[in-house]
Amino acid sequence: MNLSNLLEKELARWNDIISIRTNNPRAYIHRGMVHFKLANIDESIADFDIAEQLDSRLTPYLWQRGLSYYYAEKFADGAKQFEVDLSVNSQDVEETIWRYLCIARLYGAAKARQSLLPVKNDPRLVMRRVYDLYAGDCSTDDVLAVGTNNDKRAKFYGYLYVGLYFEAENRTDEARHYMIQAFNEYEIDDYMWHVAAIHQKLRGWD
């Protein structure tokens, strides 16, 4: 069974669960994540919104909605979501990088770099190097040098965020090259791998 069929089956399962547990916010988050993986971006946002309506305490934890906002081209909403996320997860480089990416799409990479929020203690070396890249303090080669080929997770994250970096710089050919490598060569069991898949699909690169 291919990935699309598996995801459709998973979507049907969450539809069944929600039909019984209509007020369970976690169920809507899970279904929203499946919708995202299927490139149903608007549907994913709708599910995350319902989860938030059912439990407003979830708002700073809805990083998945921030990603959906990015691909829905709702960049101001995305930047706001990631700013809120940082209030509870201040050491996660990814939150501030995605905020950067949203701001770059609105105002350009130079403005995004000026507003990059400080993050110091992400335990992942590759993400610390990614932060340095976006801050203008290291090269893409420095990011891609982190980890060995056996460390697929570090390699995936390096290639993913280098691809996104080049997209923010409007260097589409390089963005495409690194995003395709992240997706094809470093597959991992991680929501962010699906981000690479959706990125290619929505850009017409697959």
Tokens of 12: 């049907």
Prediction pTM value: 0.95
What does the pLDDT profile of the chain (206 residues) look like in tens digits?
688 899 999 999 999 999 999 999 999 999 999 999 999 999 999 999 999 999 999 999 999 999 999 999 999 999 999 999 988 888 789 999 999 999 999 999 999 999 999 887 888 999 999 999 999 999 999 999 998 777 899 999 999 999 999 999 999 999 999 999 999 999 999 999 999 999 999 999 97
Torsion, Cα 192 162 205 195, to 10 degrees, reads 10
CB 154 within 8 A of CB 122: no
Q: How far apart are the first and last CA of the chain?
A: 19
pLDDT for 87 = 87
Q: Distance (Å, rounded) from C-alpha 190 to C-alpha 59?
A: 22
